[in-house]
Amino acid sequence: MNALEIKNLQKTYKNGVKALKGVDLTVKQGDFFALLGPNGAGKSTVIGIVSSLVNKTAGLVEVFGQNQDTHPADVRMHIGLVPQEFNFNIFEPIGEILINQAGYYGINRREATKRAEIHLKQLDLWDKRYDMAKELSGGMKRRLMIARALMHRPKLLILDEPTAGVDIEIRHSMWQFMKKVNSEGTTIILTTHYLEEAESLCNNIAIIDHGITIEQTQMRTLLDRLHVETFVFYLADPLETLPGCRDFPLRLIDSTTLEADINDKQKLSDLFDILKGCGIRVISMKNKTNRLEQLFMSMTKSEARSG
């Protein structure tokens, strides 16, 4: 069964802006799914419609086989939403925010208190349980929204830029947490502007641009389309001239930094052999750009040209 099925989803706002012109999406149960697109592509509108915060103009939304139009309450019961903007009462203690949220799903206070303790501990917020939400840092507020979304044990968790503005350390701990939640059976849909986040977490991906789905495939399939990657090599000793190398186009960025373009038929080990043969010692290396980022840029640019 699919966790989410969207067909020909359209949304025209009252001011005449057509945010969605016909989005199609299928998210399988148990998937960790990336929903990407440039700013204004329509991602948040899709999420808003699926989570009942935005009225659709046309189209079909089904969550775990239940139609949103005919079974709205059942659909909402399945979904947990972590929105892009903070949307809690900043003057409420965070423990109360979680317990009240569970209450809206019909979970009694005793059970809600137990669940709040579990999630606050999992997300390192237990010590803050009596604090007003306004006293939390940005990262803590993001984690609070994740804890809140999990209170009713949703089968589908929608994360709309959950790590925006969060420092690297906390971001990585949130990644681990999201992986754990996914491994326990919760389907996750993630939107993010950190493409390395989508690349490392998600199995499947859809890209939306100008209100339509321009791609939906497996992450691996998408990345395989990238024919050339640029690597940056940091050298142990300064280099004055480039070694001759016909097969690998090399560029000297500064005396201790080299760049090389490698296509999908070449082996990185061959380049290392050449560098070693020239007496060049490499301390470290990295991808010049994130692979998904390269693809994303080329796909959304080409869509803009054709649009």
Partner 1 sequence: MNFTQKMVALKTIVIKEYLRFIRIWIQTVLPPAITVALYFIIFGELIGSQIGDIDGYRYMDYIVPGLILMSVITNAYANVVSSFFSAKFHHSVEEMLVSPLPNHIILLGFVSGGLARGIVVGITVTAVSMFFSDFQIYSYSVTIVVFILTSILFALAGFINAAYARSFDDITIIPTFVLTPLTYLGGIFYSIKMLPEFWQNVSLVNPILYMINAFRYGLLGVSDIDLTTAFVIIIGFILALYYFALRLLRIGVGLKP
Closest-CA residue to 193 (of 301, 50, 39, 63): 39
Nearer to partner 1 by C-beta: 146 or 198? 146
Nearest-approach distance from CB 301 to partner 1, in angstroms: 29
Are 2 and 62 contacting, i.e. CB atoms less than 8 angstroms apart? yes
Other CB atoms closer than 10 Å to residue 152's CB: what's the count?
A: 20
107/174 with CB nearer partner 1: 107
Q: Which is nearer to partner 1, 186 or 216 (CB)?
A: 186
Element (H, E) at 287: strand 282-287
Closer residue to partner 1, CB minimum distance, 104 or 234: 104
Pairing of strands 79-82, 156-160: parallel
Q: Which residues bind partner 1 (CB under 8 A)?
A: 13-14, 48, 51-55, 72-74, 76-77, 79, 81, 83, 85-90, 96, 99-101, 103-109, 148, 152
Which amino acid appears at position 264 of this protein?
Answer: D
**For residues 71 and 172, which CB has a smaller minimum distance to partner 1 in the complex?**
71
Q: Determine the Cα–Cα distance for residues 270 and 292; give it in Å rounded to an integer.
A: 24
Least CB distance to partner 1 at residue 14 (A): 7
Residues in the chain: 307
Q: Report the nearest approach of partner 1 to the CB of residue 185 (Å).
A: 21
CB of 239 to partner 1, least distance (A): 56
Distance CA 244, CA 251 (A): 11
Residues whose CB falls within 8 Å of the CB of residue 168, separated by 6 or more in sequence, listed in order: none
Evaluate whether 84 touches 39 at the Cβ level (below 8 Å). no
Cβ distance to partner 1 smaller for residue 64 or 88: 88
Residue 92 has a CB neighbour count (10 Å cut-off) of 14
Q: Which is nearer to partner 1, 157 or 219 (CB)?
A: 157
The two tokens of residue 141 are 């507020």
Other Cβ atoms within 10 Å of 191 Cβ, number: 23
| Least distance CB 108 / partner 1 (angstroms) | 5
CB of 75 to partner 1, least distance (A): 8
Task: Annotate 114-172 with three-state secondary structure.
Answer: HHHHHHHHHCCCHHHCCCEHHHCCHHHHHHHHHHHHHCCCCCEEEEECCCCCCCHHHHH
Q: Which is nearer to partner 1, 92 or 124 (CB)?
A: 92
CB of residue 3 to partner 1, shortest distance in Å: 16
Q: Smallest gap, in angstroms, from Cβ of residue 304 to partner 1?
A: 25
Distance CA 171, CA 149 (A): 18
Report DSSP state, residue 93.
B
